């Protein structure tokens, strides 16, 4: 049998992993991951065989992990955050499609919408949408359509991958689209390096978002019309009478 | 100082909690929660003072928790899943607004979109929206608008609270709205009693969803046009070349 875990390790801090995730990594002989995420866990699991690749090495890394599992070694592919939210679960399931007796076990983790939301308060306390601003794998027009649809629907938003070295103006473009529909005083927030050394966070308005300098380690939150600032925290009430 | 945790306990199984959540519950003298969720953790923390209320007792329960914290006892309010996703974090922050020196610490947890998604495969592997079908606190027209916006935007969907004793036809109504925009062969899935004894799950099509008997313990997933079934799992590919 080819036993293959896809494990969401959360933001990276050990106490933000579930015990289920720790146990899967304990059981695995081989652990595959993006270099930066492997560094987050290697100290806890020094005796594993690691498969590391850099950015854009996802398919190669997951293919090698599937091969290791097919050869009979229990293997875990790690994703930061949740395994299924822009993580490796889908890719591994695709690559394992024709492997006989493959057992793919997906283990959830704390994605940045949740860990970053907790830092800010409760920005996603009502219906919300999660959108990645990366157009590496998605046409920018699709991203624009989703931003418009989410704003029109009154969703709170968590924006992943708001910028990178090659996409410095994407958050500004996204904010411009949201400003077609939402008022500039809409409450927004950001968290950078969630759960890691040097974590920073703050609140700002949608009107200020175009000039905010996000990077690829930042998650951005955009409130709905009901989102408020309470004692410096970002809160979208669910609607209980208080 | 009034120290108040709002803790996401995940679906309820101990190994799906983070260590951070366990440590907060260990530290707390008083734990407040919905009766059913208190039962999920009482065995692990037998020596706490518990504040339990039933359905619709949220405001009373959180108010009492804020009072306990203000009286100097470290208090934890628990939510199933994540503390911020239809959880108690927002309500607690609202109620603690005028409590001097209140320190509200939100601890994230595995929400049903993630835990149920992992059971099914990777249904939320691309941009997604989370919508509650409960109209207890939200006008049904708002819910309808969000369903239409999310379908038009091509989001995958996680639907929370798809039914209750008093809202048996809400999932059928929601599916009818989605079918105005999405094809009936759209891949859907459900997970019931996630992470608990008697967990069940399965796949169906959007065309079959109106006659599916969901209850309040069920989470429903609706795919996008790119969602596929791979070896019985529900997968929304992110778009890597395979």
Cβ partners under 8 Å of residue B232, min gap 6 = B203
Supply the pLDDT for residue A145: 98
Which residues are paired to A221 by β-bridges?
A158, A189
Which chain B positions have a beta carbon within 8 Å of A18's beta carbon?
A: 10, 15-18, 110
Structure token digits, residue B205: 């099509």
Structure token digits, residue A169: 């103006």
pLDDT in tens, B166-202: 888 999 999 999 999 999 999 999 999 999 989 999 9
B139 touches chain A (CB under 8 A): no
Task: Find the radius of gyration of the CA atoms of chain B.
Answer: 19
Supply the pLDDT for residue B163: 92
pLDDT in tens, B209-218: 999 999 999 9
pLDDT bin (cut points 50, 70, 90) of residue B12 is confident
Buried b (16+ CB within 10 A) or exposed e, B168-186: eebbbebbebbbeebeeeb
**Burial (0-12, 13-18, 19+ Cβ within 10 Å), B90:** buried
Q: How many CB pairs under 8 A join A and B?
A: 252
Q: CA A163, A168, A173, A178 torsion: positive or negative?
A: positive
pLDDT higher than threshold 90 for residue B242: no
Q: In Å, what is the CA distance from B3 to each residue of A71, A116, A194, B103, B106?
A: 51, 20, 22, 5, 11
Which chain B positions have a beta carbon within 8 Å of A90's beta carbon?
A: 121-122, 125, 235-238
A235 touches chain B (CB under 8 A): yes
| 8 Å CB contact between A120 and B89 | no
B149 touches chain A (CB under 8 A): yes
CA of B62 vs chain A CAs: smallest distance (Å): 10
- Would the ipTM clear 0.90, i.e. be above it? yes
**Mean pLDDT, rounded, for B78-99:** 97
pLDDT in tens, A134-171: 999 999 999 999 999 999 999 999 999 999 888 889 99
Supply the pLDDT for residue B112: 98
The whole-angstrom separation of Cα A178 and Cα A227 is 15
| 8 Å CB contact between A202 and A189 | yes
Name the residue among B96, B131, B154 with its Cβ closest to that of A127: B131
Q: Which stretches of chain A score pLDDT less than 70?
A: none
A223 touches chain B (CB under 8 A): no
Supply the pLDDT for residue B17: 96
Supply the pLDDT for residue A102: 94
Locate tokens 């190669």: which residue? Answer: A60
* Cross-chain Cβ contact B18/A17 below 8 Å: yes
Which residue, among B8, B53, B153, B236, would best test binding to A if mutated, counting the most A CBs under 10 Å from its CB?
B153
Supply the pLDDT for residue A166: 86
A58 touches chain B (CB under 8 A): yes
Supply the pLDDT for residue A211: 96
The whole-angstrom separation of Cα B30 and Cα B47 is 9
What is the rounded average pLDDT for all residues in chain B?
96
Supply the pLDDT for residue A17: 96
**Mean pLDDT, rounded, for B104-108:** 98
Nearest chain A residue to B234, by CA: A90
């Amino acid at each position: 049998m080819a036993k293959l875990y896809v494990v969401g390790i959360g933001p990276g801090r050990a106490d933000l992993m579930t015990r289920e995730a720790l146990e899967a990594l304990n059981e695995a002989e081989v652990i595959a991951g993006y270099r930066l995420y492997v560094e987050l866990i290697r100290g806890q699991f020094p005796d594993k065989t690691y498969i590391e690749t850099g950015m854009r090495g996802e398919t190669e890394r997951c293919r090698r992990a599937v091969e290791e599992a097919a050869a009979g070694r229990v293997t875990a592919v790690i994703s930061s955050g949740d395994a299924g939210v822009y993580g490796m679960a889908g890719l591994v399931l695709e690559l394992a499609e024709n492997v006989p007796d493959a057992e793919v076990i997906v283990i959830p983790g704390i994605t940045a919408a949740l860990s970053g939301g907790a830092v800010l308060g409760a920005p996603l306390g009502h219906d919300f949408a999660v959108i990645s601003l990366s157009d590496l794998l998605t046409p920018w027009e699709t991203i624009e359509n989703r931003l418009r649809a989410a704003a029109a629907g009154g969703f709170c938003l968590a924006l992943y991958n708001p910028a990178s070295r090659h996409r410095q103006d994407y958050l500004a473009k996204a904010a411009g689209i949201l400003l077609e529909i939402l008022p500039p005083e809409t409450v927004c927030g950001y968290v950078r390096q969630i759960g890691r050394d040097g974590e920073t966070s703050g609140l700002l308005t949608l009107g200020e978002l175009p000039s905010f300098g996000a990077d690829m380690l930042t998650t951005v939150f955009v409130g709905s019309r009901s989102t408020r600032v309470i004692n410096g925290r970002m809160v979208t009430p669910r609607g209980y009478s208080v």
